[in-house]
A and B are shown apart, each in its own frame.
Chain A
Amino acid sequence: MKVGNINIALIGNPNVGKTSVFNQLTGLNQQVGNYPGITVEKKQGVCKLSSNLKATILDLPGTYSLNASSLDENVVIELLLNKNDKDFPDVAIVVTEVENLKRNLLLFTQIKDLEIPTILVINMSDRMSYKGISLDIPYLENQLKTKIALVSSRKGEGIDNLKNLIINYKNITTEPCLNASSIDVAYFNNLRRAFPNQSLYKLWLVITQDVNFANLNRNELPNPSFAKSKEDLKRLQQKETIKRYQFINDVLKVGQKIDLASAKDLRSKLDRILMHKVFGYVIFFLILMLIFQSIFDWSSLPMDFIDSSFVSLSSWTESQLTAGVLTNLIVQGIIPGLGGIAIFIPQIAFLFLFISILEESGYMSRVVFLMDKSMRKFGLSGKSVVPLISGTACAIPAIMATRNIENWKERLITILVTPFTTCSARLPVYSIIISLVIPNTRLFGLFNLQGLTLMMLYLLGFGMAFFSAWLLNKILKIQSKSYFVVEMPNYKLPMFKNVVINVIEKTKSFVFGAGKMILALSVILWFLASYGPGENFRNAREIVSKQNPATEHLENEIASYKLENSYIGIIGKSIEPAITPLGYDWKIGIAIVTSFAAREVFVGTLATIYSIEETGDQEATIKNKLSTEINPITGDKLFNLASGVSLLLFYAFAMQCMSTLAVTKKETNSWKWPAIQLVFMSGFAYTVALIAYQILK
């Protein structure tokens, strides 16, 4: 039997539980991708309606109306106006929430006017009695010319009814609820004459928005009289909005009854505590502490496990394969490369777990509200709090999280300064250098000096982010209106299913997205370090044995001689003059060069360079080796307080992450901003490291 398929678009305001409805309909039967060319997430899932009918459901980004003001909202309009799009819906489902029905219906009336069969879902029906709300469903269905499904996505109620409505979608009238021409009668009459076969509301949308739609490009409108000034259009959009609200208010006056007895509720009580001028900040601080604790403490166990698993996988593979170039590539290039990705999974998962709980519960909007004024002093927005916190795990998702900042200048500054926050990739570098150069003693018999140093580096990262934000705010001459609208949603207990799906999806896209980059680079690095030009590299064995015939560590000596003459060694030697004033030798130079791909390869690169057998505790053996290295120029220990501090500062400030630069390019749509990031951050890092070394040496 052939299984039929219909396309469904799920549309709704943010915070109405649209994703919960999506999860209820599709379960784990979903896939997340990107819309071509832009970074807006595209979520699609399949739902089995009956034995011979299934539905492909597209979860469109949350939007307040069809008047697009962001990339996410543009996606919605583009799809709904383009009948030729392969995802064009047979049925549109507008998800609303019982407590915000009035506002949610604005979008519904717009969708309805597109003349697509539309089903109205009223979600969170379980809260109706608690809120004293009652609805006259037959009346509402009649007035809104639709079918209504009362759903509680939290309890899973009403989903079967919704599926039935979808199966019978052909019974739903496509008649619009509102007469679009009443917005401006003369104007719309002209439009109707020019385009007799088009829906008026579609024409209106095409004229007011920046989208093209099937066979009707807005630039090709035949009569210039249809073009209106931006101000006039905005005025008309306002008029449209007022008209729609009038209609909705009239309908709800009859169709919805609210018993106001339950006015003071949990929301206002929680608001009073969570946004208190003292307790509000204390609670936020405690939550931050909890997040850091989990990222750096709780995830260390699974991270160690992943780390050691990859080491054993590497040696096991080596023992199974015959020795050769391909084996070397797999064992030294690909497997450690994959390990470098996998090791971050626990931290990323913990971070997304917390962020997703904070967002689902409605708390994040409160933090944005509390922090906005203080953040604005630095040219940032209250909404910058989220990216700056996420930045402590990884700058890549953090920069993507800036999308909801309306003000372009505030958003740009947030993107530019986020990489200063101490991301998890800096942690291994910090910990090994600190253990080398900072004495393991207690300050005032209380604070561990090494721990204190680590904390200082975190504070330094945040401090630098705020300082450069302040600086950029002074320098950048971008005029943009200080728009800031944050919906303060109701508090909700986060739904386990939503949180889990979100964590899995985000972690997956991190591993596959950033992972590809790290993997590719580690293969390139392996190649550059394993091959070299000229006689010196090829005849390494003969040359070394001739020089030191009696050495016990012949193999190690050969390996380091080879490295010195490999491609990467030549690069390291050539940058040596630039880094000597900072207290580094050419080997550290190579580690710094490779760190521009990703910081976490620093330790691994040094490990290869100092040709240590990879047995036992890798960091300890590296540590022993590093602590005995002698600087050939000064004759002192290579890693002393001066060069150590210099390195720490360099890693704290330098822009050493290609993926971050790529994301910045993607989000700002220009190479200018990543270039500024790279030059400014690395230049600053170099200067600070230079000064520190010259003072301390």
Chain B
Amino acid sequence: MNLTISNLAIGQKAIIKDFDINNIPLKLLEMGCLPGNMVEVIQIAPFGDPLYLNINDSHVAIRLETASIIEVEISKENQL
């Protein structure tokens, strides 16, 4: 299974790889949620949803449902 934003732990950084364009609100793309950009999970709300993210220096909250269709790659910076 592919790794998505919903699999990330708090504080973990990753690079956005791919997503199904038809299920992503355009507003999120405009906030910088695009392949190649960095994403970090800042906080997860009580009960595990929604997620508070830093995407390409934009601070946004999205629901788990949306987060689970955005595929990511763990960034090298974080593995070091």
Choice from B21, B23, B58, B66 contacting A235 with Cβ under 8 Å? B21
Choice from B30, B45, B50, B66 contacting A64 with Cβ under 8 Å? B30
A242 close to B52 (CB less than 8 A): no
B13-50: CB near A (< 8 Å → 1, else 0) gives 00000000111011111111011010000110111111
A46-54, A183-191, A485-493, A649-657: which one contacts chain B?
A: A485-493
Alpha-carbon distance between A64 and B28 when the two chains are bound, in angstroms: 10
Alpha-carbon distance between A379 and B61 when the two chains are bound, in angstroms: 19
**Assuming the A-B contacts A64-B30, A100-B58, A486-B60, are A481 and B23 also in contact, with contact meaning beta carbons closer than 8 angstroms in the complex?**
yes
B60 close to A488 (CB less than 8 A): yes
| 7 A-B pairs with the lowest CB-CB distances in the bound complex, closest first | A277-B46, A488-B59, A483-B25, A373-B47, A486-B61, A65-B30, A64-B30
Counting CB contacts under 8 A, is A666 at the interface? no
B27 close to A373 (CB less than 8 A): no
Alpha-carbon distance between A370 and B61 when the two chains are bound, in angstroms: 10
Choice from A241, A374, A485 contacting B34 with Cβ under 8 Å? A241
B42 close to A271 (CB less than 8 A): yes
The chain B residue with its CB closest to the CB of A280 is B46
The chain A residue with its CB closest to the CB of B54 is A488
In the complex, besides A102-B56, A102-B58, A484-B50, 16 extra interface pairs with C-beta distance below 8 angstroms are: A65-B27, A67-B26, A103-B32, A103-B56, A103-B58, A245-B34, A275-B45, A275-B52, A365-B61, A372-B49, A373-B45, A485-B28, A485-B31, A485-B66, A488-B52, A488-B59
* Residues in chain B near residue A100, CB distance under 8 A: 57-58
* Chain A to chain B contacts (Cβ below 8 Å), 28 pairs: A64-B30, A100-B57, A102-B56, A103-B30, A103-B31, A103-B58, A234-B26, A237-B26, A241-B26, A241-B34, A245-B56, A271-B42, A272-B43, A275-B43, A275-B45, A370-B45, A370-B46, A373-B48, A373-B50, A382-B50, A406-B27, A481-B23, A482-B65, A483-B25, A484-B50, A484-B61, A485-B66, A486-B62
Residue among B35, B43, B58, B63 with the most chain A CB within 10 A? B63
* Residues in chain B near residue A103, CB distance under 8 A: 30-32, 56-58
* Residues in chain B near residue A226, CB distance under 8 A: none
* Residues in chain B near residue A275, CB distance under 8 A: 43, 45, 52
A373 close to B46 (CB less than 8 A): yes
Alpha-carbon distance between A234 and B43 when the two chains are bound, in angstroms: 30
B47 close to A374 (CB less than 8 A): yes
* Residues in chain B near residue A220, CB distance under 8 A: none
Alpha-carbon distance between A443 and B79 when the two chains are bound, in angstroms: 63
Alpha-carbon distance between A418 and B1 when the two chains are bound, in angstroms: 42
A487 close to B56 (CB less than 8 A): no
Nearest CB of chain A from residue B30's CB, rounded to whole Å = 4
Count of chain A residues with Cβ under 8 Å from any Cβ of B? 42
The majority secondary structure among interface residues of chain B is mixed
**Assuming the A-B contacts A234-B26, A483-B66, A485-B28, are A242 and B49 also in contact, with contact meaning beta carbons closer than 8 angstroms in the complex?**
no
Nearest CB of chain A from residue B41's CB, rounded to whole Å = 13
* Residues in chain A near residue B58, CB distance under 8 A: 100, 102-103, 487
A487 close to B60 (CB less than 8 A): yes
A271 close to B28 (CB less than 8 A): no
Restricting to A465-505, which residues have a CB under 8 Å from any CB of B?
A: 481-490
Restricting to A214-261, which residues have a CB under 8 Å from any CB of B?
A: 231, 234-235, 237-238, 241-242, 245
Restricting to A611-659, which residues have a CB under 8 Å from any CB of B?
A: none
Alpha-carbon distance between A484 and B27 when the two chains are bound, in angstroms: 10
Nearest CB of chain A from residue B28's CB, rounded to whole Å = 5
A245 close to B32 (CB less than 8 A): yes
Choice from A268, A271, A485 contacting B27 with Cβ under 8 Å? A485
* Residues in chain B near residue A458, CB distance under 8 A: none
A242 close to B34 (CB less than 8 A): yes
Alpha-carbon distance between A361 and B73 when the two chains are bound, in angstroms: 35
A406 close to B25 (CB less than 8 A): yes
* Residues in chain A near residue B56, CB distance under 8 A: 102-103, 245
Alpha-carbon distance between A487 and B57 when the two chains are bound, in angstroms: 11
A275-301: CB near B (< 8 Å → 1, else 0) gives 101001100000000000000000000
Nearest CB of chain B from residue A406's CB, rounded to whole Å = 7
Nearest CB of chain B from residue A413's CB, rounded to whole Å = 17
B22 close to A234 (CB less than 8 A): yes
* Residues in chain A near residue B62, CB distance under 8 A: 484-486
Nearest CB of chain A from residue B72's CB, rounded to whole Å = 17
* Residues in chain B near residue A373, CB distance under 8 A: 45-50
Nearest CB of chain B from residue A271's CB, rounded to whole Å = 6
The chain B residue with its CB closest to the CB of A486 is B61
* Residues in chain A near residue B29, CB distance under 8 A: 237-238, 241
Counting CB contacts under 8 A, is A106 at the interface? yes
Counting CB contacts under 8 A, is A369 at the interface? yes
